[in-house]
């Protein structure tokens, strides 16, 4: 395989499939998987990820915003797509591209009813979001009677699912809170089962919910970060495969004498003779400024090279003293879950943020495990 000569993100679709079936085997045969591929599939490559999972028979995709779903439709994806956070301004486009919107308040419901009133043909599938403690989006249980009464006026709409979102399913110290959420959700769907004329799908669990709360699997589960190799649980993460690996190459090597500085604002000044390497990747590519000044590192020839000075927009400089390397050599930013999670922890964040921050100007390359 001819790999890029600059910075690139390697996407291992074999690893993706392995992760998908790992979770597929942990849930009941009748429980469907909603693959969450918002934010460019968590910073990976949404179209390639979607096509591969569609070929594996995934039941649903979920995106955050309508434009993400439209991009998938234009790429030829035909699997149902749930839009988690549609806006009134793009509801019409949502319907035109056969996307299924989440209805999370009466404002968006009433707008949808207004633009669909009197239309004939196939029913429009919607998904009702309820707030059980996250306090971001969703109806509350006290609104059920008003919600049902409103829906009774709209023959055009069909409730495809009712769902909520767990707050801290990965945190054992919040087990009581999570159990209370599950209980609240069960009460909501029980009430709606009695009041809505048609059956609907139920889903509550995210990746950590799938792992820790089998009683919350219901009809469908929403798999996000787990598909990409991370599980908020070391025991499970170790059984998954890393889907994305980030690489770059050495542009130039410098030998610096004591007292010389590196990068903007002279943030790093040498106290001895060192060698540095300049790499063509910076904060415009997803390497945050918080990684600079030896907070984080890259790997060259199997050895850690600390990032020195401030991270630039398009470049970083690393200390390669003691590492035998040359201009053009491959540099690994991360290629394992442990490395990425260490980089995230060192800079006070989480794997989600590191992955989704990778800029779209970084070339994505599809590979296979054996070719890593």
Q: Which parts of 174-229 fold into alpha helices (H)?
A: 175-195, 207-212
pLDDT band at 371 (very low <50, low <70, confident <90, very high): very low
pTM, whole model, 2 decimals? 0.94
Contact 107, 86 (CB under 8 A): no
Which DSSP letter does residue 310 get? P
Give the model's pLDDT for residue 119.
78
Over residues 84-96, mean pLDDT? 97
Give the model's pLDDT for residue 232.
85
Give the model's pLDDT for residue 372.
40
Determine phi and psi for 201, rounding to 5 degrees.
-80, 150
Over residues 26-46, mean pLDDT? 96
CA dihedral 149, 150, 151, 156 (to 10 degrees): 140
Burial class (CB in 10 A: 0-12, 13-18, 19+), 148: middle
- Whether the pLDDT of residue 370 is over 50: the answer is no
Contact 338, 262 (CB under 8 A): no
- Whether the pLDDT of residue 222 is over 70: the answer is yes
Give the model's pLDDT for residue 125.
97
When the pLDDT of each residue in the chain is averaged and rounded to a whole number, the result is: 96
Those residues whose C-beta lies under 8 Å from the C-beta of residue 135, and which sit 6 or more positions away, are none
Those residues whose C-beta lies under 8 Å from the C-beta of residue 358, and which sit 6 or more positions away, are 9, 43, 244, 246, 285, 286
Extents of the domains making up the chain: 31-223, 244-371
Of these residues, 32, 38, 52, 129, which one is catalytic?
A: 38
- Whether the pLDDT of residue 240 is over 90: the answer is yes
- Whether the pLDDT of residue 268 is over 60: the answer is yes
Among this protein's residues, is 38 annotated catalytic?
yes
CA atoms within 13 A on the CB side of 193: 9
- Whether the pLDDT of residue 244 is over 80: the answer is yes
Of these residues, 264, 273, 301, 372, which one is catalytic?
A: 264
- Whether the pLDDT of residue 260 is over 90: the answer is yes
CATH class of the 31-223 domain in this structure:
alpha beta
CB atoms under 10 Å from CB of 369, counted, come to: 12
Return d(Cα 337, Cα 99) in angstroms, integer.
Answer: 33
Those residues whose C-beta lies under 8 Å from the C-beta of residue 146, and which sit 6 or more positions away, are 106
Over residues 312-321, mean pLDDT? 98
The DSSP string of 121-146 is SSPEEEEEEB-SSS-SS-B-GGGHHH
Angle at 60 between CA 107 and CA 167, to 5 degrees: 60
Return d(Cα 47, Cα 151) in angstroms, integer.
Answer: 34
> Per residue in 115-153, pLDDT tens?
998 776 789 999 999 999 999 999 999 999 999 999 999
Among this protein's residues, is 52 annotated catalytic?
no
- Whether the pLDDT of residue 6 is over 60: the answer is yes
> Per residue in 273-286, pLDDT tens?
999 999 999 999 99
> Per residue in 320-364, pLDDT tens?
999 999 999 999 999 999 999 999 999 999 999 999 999 999 999
244-371 CATH: 2.40.37.10
Give the model's pLDDT for residue 121.
74
Return d(Cα 138, Cα 116) in angstroms, integer.
Answer: 22
DSSP, collapsed to helix, strand or coil, labels residue 147 as helix
CA neighbor of 100 nearest in space, from 130, 75, 121, 122? 122
pLDDT band at 3 (very low <50, low <70, confident <90, very high): confident
pLDDT band at 5 (very low <50, low <70, confident <90, very high): confident
């Amino acid at each position: 395989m001819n790999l890029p000569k600059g910075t690139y993100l390697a996407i291992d679709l074999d690893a993706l499939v392995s992760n998908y079936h790992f979770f597929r085997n942990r849930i009941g045969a009748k429980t469907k998987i909603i693959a969450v591929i918002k934010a460019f599939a968590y910073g990976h490559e949404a179209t390639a990820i979607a096509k591969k999972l569609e070929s594996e028979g995934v039941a649903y995709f979920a995106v955050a915003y309508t434009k993400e779903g439209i991009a998938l439709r234009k790429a030829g994806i035909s699997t149902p797509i749930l839009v988690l956070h549609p806006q009134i301004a793009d509801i019409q486009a949502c319907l035109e591209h056969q996307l299924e919107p989440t209805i999370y308040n009466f404002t968006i419901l009433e707008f949808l009813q207004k633009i669909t009133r009197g239309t004939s043909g196939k029913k429009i599938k919607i998904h009702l979001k309820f707030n059980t403690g996250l306090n971001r989006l969703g109806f509350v249980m006290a609104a059920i009677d008003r919600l049902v009464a409103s829906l009774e006026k709209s023959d055009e709409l069909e409730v495809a699912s009712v769902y909520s979102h767990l707050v801290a399913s990965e945190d054992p110290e919040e087990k009581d809170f999570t159990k209370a959420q599950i209980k609240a959700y069960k009460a909501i769907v029980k009430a709606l089962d009695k009041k809505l004329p048609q059956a609907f799908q139920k889903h509550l669990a995210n990746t950590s919910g799938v792992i820790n709360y089998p009683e919350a699997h219901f009809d469908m589960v929403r798999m996000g970060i787990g598909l990409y190799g991370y599980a908020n649980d070391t025991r499970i993460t170790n059984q998954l495969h890393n889907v994305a690996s980030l690489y770059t190459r050495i542009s130039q090597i410098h030998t610096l004498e004591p007292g010389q500085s590196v990068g903007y604002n002279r943030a790093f000044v040498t106290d001895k003779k060192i060698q540095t390497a300049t790499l063509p990747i910076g904060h415009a590519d997803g390497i945050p400024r918080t990684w600079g000044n030896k907070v984080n590192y890259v790997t060259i020839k199997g050895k850690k090279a600390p990032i020195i000075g401030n991270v630039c927009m398009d470049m970083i400089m690393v200390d390669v003293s003691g590492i035998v390397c040359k201009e053009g050599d491959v540099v690994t930013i991360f290629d394992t879950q442990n490395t990425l999670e260490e980089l995230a922890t060192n800079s006070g964040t989480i794997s989600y943020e590191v992955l989704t921050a990778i800029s779209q100007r970084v070339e994505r390359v599809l590979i296979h495990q054996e070719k890593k």
